[in-house]
């Protein structure tokens, strides 16, 4: 059985470091790891469709090139959720219980997850959005696109999202349209480091926010 890591890449040095972290993970018995790299993607949705169609792996992990996985057993823990709960189609590392009217998951009242952010070369912060008190995971409406694991292939809406925003919220809502659910595991400490730096939102963010609200 295969697990495929799919990444859109425009920074080879950053991706090489991300790959080193993946290669130091604990690989479960009878699992093969596959890598699909999409370069020069027109959008995240189109790149992820290319990656999805390029792999026959049942389990796919769509990972940003600047995400470094810290949790050594993350593959097994994700697979355990998928195998035990076939109704769960997607797993992320941060998300919200209920999408707010803005469709910006970060503005929700109840959030889950724990992510370490490298904002500057010498400054790292940890965002603990919320812990799951009574279960191994929380069922959520939406997850952050930095890490998206799936056990079913559903097309990404590249017809609507032609940039690099709201493709993740959209994909979660597509999974719900197909009758599946989304989960965020309980995390006592960060399962990943996001070397995102400090970035300002570009105007396309608001453009695709409107597209997302209109569609869903």
Q: pLDDT for 17-53, tens place per residue?
A: 999 999 999 999 999 999 999 999 999 999 999 999 9
Q: Residue 132 — very low, low, confident or very high, per pLDDT cuts 50/70/90?
A: confident
Residue bearing tokens 């026959």: 56
Exposure string over 131-163, b if 16+ CB within 10 A, otherwise e? ebeeeebbbbbbbbbbbbbbbeeeebbbebbbb
CA–CA separation, 214 and 216 (whole Å): 6
pLDDT recorded at residue 51? 98
What average pLDDT does range 145-171 have in this prediction?
A: 98
Q: pLDDT for 194-207, tens place per residue?
A: 997 666 678 899 99
135 pLDDT higher than 80:
no
Candidates 37, 29, 26, 81; CA nearest to 59 is 81
What average pLDDT does range 65-77 have in this prediction?
A: 97
pLDDT recorded at residue 37? 98
Q: Residue 131 — very low, low, confident or very high, per pLDDT cuts 50/70/90?
A: confident
126 pLDDT higher than 80:
no
pLDDT recorded at residue 198? 61
For the chain, domains (ranges, CATH) are: 2-215 (3.90.550.10)
Q: Which of 9-18, 85-94, 132-141, 183-192 has the lowest mean pLDDT?
A: 132-141
Q: Residue 123 — very low, low, confident or very high, per pLDDT cuts 50/70/90?
A: low
Q: Give the Cα-Cα-Cα angle 159, 184, 31 (nearest 5 degrees).
A: 85
* Helix segments in the chain, DSSP class H: 12-23, 44-54, 74-84, 167-177, 204-215
What average pLDDT does range 92-100 have in this prediction?
A: 97
122 pLDDT higher than 70:
no
């Amino acid at each position: 059985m295969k697990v495929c890591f799919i990444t859109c890449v425009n920074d080879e040095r950053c991706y090489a470091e991300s790959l080193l972290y993946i290669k130091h993970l604990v690989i479960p018995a009878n699992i093969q790891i596959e890598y699909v790299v999409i370069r020069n993607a027109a959008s995240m949705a189109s790149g992820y469709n290319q990656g999805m169609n390029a792999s026959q792996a049942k389990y796919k992990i769509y990972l940003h090139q600047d995400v470094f996985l810290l949790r050594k057993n993350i593959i097994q823990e994700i697979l355990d959720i998928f195998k035990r709960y076939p109704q769960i189609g997607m797993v992320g590392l941060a998300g919200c219980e209920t999408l707010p009217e803005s469709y910006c998951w970060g503005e929700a009242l109840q959030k889950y997850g724990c992510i370490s952010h490298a904002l500057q070369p010498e400054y790292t912060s940890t965002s603990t959005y919320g812990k799951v008190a009574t279960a191994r995971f929380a069922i959520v409406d939406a997850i952050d696109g930095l890490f998206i694991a799936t056990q079913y292939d559903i097309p990404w809406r590249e017809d609507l999202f032609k940039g690099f925003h709201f493709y993740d919220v959209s994909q979660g809502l597509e999974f719900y349209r197909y009758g599946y659910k989304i989960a965020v595991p309980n995390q006592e400490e960060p399962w990943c480091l996001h070397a995102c730096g400090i970035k300002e939102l570009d105007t396309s963010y608001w453009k695709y926010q409107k597209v997302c609200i209109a569609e869903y």
